[in-house]
Amino acid sequence: MHELEMDSEFPSDHHPVRSVDFKIKTVELRGKKIRLQIWDTAGQERFNSITSAYYRSAKGIILVYDITKKETFDDLPKWMKMIDKYASEDAELLLVGNKLDCETDREITRQQGEKFAQQITGMRFCEASAKDNFNVDEIFLKLVDDILKKMPLDILRNELSNSILSLQPEPEIPPELPPPRPHIRCC
């Protein structure tokens, strides 16, 4: 789904993500440009240790399952445990049932997705089709809008005065290194 959001068209040679992938995307909302850092961990267990680090600084988390594959829906409680353990309590949560273009192969009903989301405080739910670009832009814009609504007003005012609001964490600046020691020659 993030490939479509970044490139605005579904790649004809699309293959599921097999590694951690990330992209920077700038969207416009309320007349301001907002920079997003979007990470796709593909839900693969071998990336759990990496994924936990991303949760810590995330202001918004989108959990995506495939409506045609029950096992992806069945994995949601496992991902919620990781989110509960590592993510900030105020991170916005959005559950997305993807592949609406494959309605005839559906294994998970819309009601099942809605019910799961209702059990999690503050989690929203929607369905989309990355292939048909149905609801993809709206998902990202709604998540950003929800994040902005939660930001403290003084921080939001300060950030919105910049030409671009970045929702990614500030980079850590390493402490200054001590100057190199002079080489002293002997003899």
Chain position carrying tokens 């609504």: 149
Domain locations in the chain? 2-166
- For all residues of the chain together, what is the average pLDDT? 78
pLDDT score of 41 more than 90 = no
Name the pTM for this structure.
0.73
Confidence class for position 6, pLDDT limits 50, 70, 90: very low
Higher pLDDT, 27 or 152: 27
What's the CA gap between 124 and 114, in Å, rounded? 8
Query: In this predicted model, what pLDDT tens digit does every residue of 60-79 receive, in sequence order?
Result: 999 999 999 999 999 999 99
Residues 6+ apart with CB under 8 A from 111: none
Query: In this predicted model, what pLDDT tens digit does every residue of 160-171 receive, in sequence order?
Result: 665 555 565 444
The helix (run of H) or strand (run of E) holding residue 27 is: strand 21-29
Residue range 2-166 forms a domain whose CATH class is alpha beta
- A 10 A CB-CB count for 168 gives 14
What's the CA gap between 91 and 83, in Å, rounded? 9
What's the CA gap between 61 and 143, in Å, rounded? 9
